[in-house]
Amino acid sequence: MTPRFAAGTQVLVKNDWPEERGPCHIRTPHYLRGRPGRVERVLGAFRNPEDLAFARPAETRVLYHVEFDQPGIFPDGQTPDKLLVEIFEHWLEAA
């Protein structure tokens, strides 16, 4: 499975809210939706938890470690602090 984004790529977490469309299981935290980040590294490929949670056939998706500047996410964030979060490829777009 070829990752779409290489380490160092600037990305944007999709500003999508499946919670508003019906029952779902999402591993992308609310506080990161629509936020810019940077791919730290490719972690591997794992079966999509959004389907696994409902016992549906689940495709394998690439999982990334993505780094975010903390002050941009939370007003009480402090430079140079960061957040490092696992995000699946289908939640990322090129920035």
Partner 1 sequence: MSTPARAESVAHLERLITALTAKGHVSEDELALQQASTDKASPEVGARMVARAWLNPEWRAMMLRSGTEAVEALGISMAGAPPLGVLEDTAKRHHLIVCTLCSCYPRAVLGYPPYWYKSFSYRSRVVREPRAVMAEWGSELPDDIELRVVDSTADYRWMVLPRRPAGTEGWSEDQLAALVTRDVLVGVALPKLPA
Report the interface residues with partner 1, using CB under 8 A.
Answer: 27-29, 31, 43-44, 46, 49, 63, 67, 70, 73-74, 76-78, 80-88
Q: Which is nearer to partner 1, 21 or 30 (CB)?
A: 30
Q: Which is nearer to partner 1, 81 or 93 (CB)?
A: 81
Measured from the CB of residue 2, what is the shortest distance to partner 1 in angstroms? 19
Whose CA is closest to 95, among 67, 76, 70, 75? 67
Under a CB-based contact definition with an 8 Å cutoff, are residues 78 and 70 in contact? yes
Burial 61-85 (b: 16+ CB within 10 A, else e): bbbbebebbeeebeeeeeeeebbeb
What is each CA distance from 89 to 9, 17, 61, in whole angstroms? Answer: 13, 16, 7
Measured from the CB of residue 59, what is the shortest distance to partner 1 in angstroms? 14
Measured from the CB of residue 14, what is the shortest distance to partner 1 in angstroms? 15
Q: Which is nearer to partner 1, 11 or 87 (CB)?
A: 87
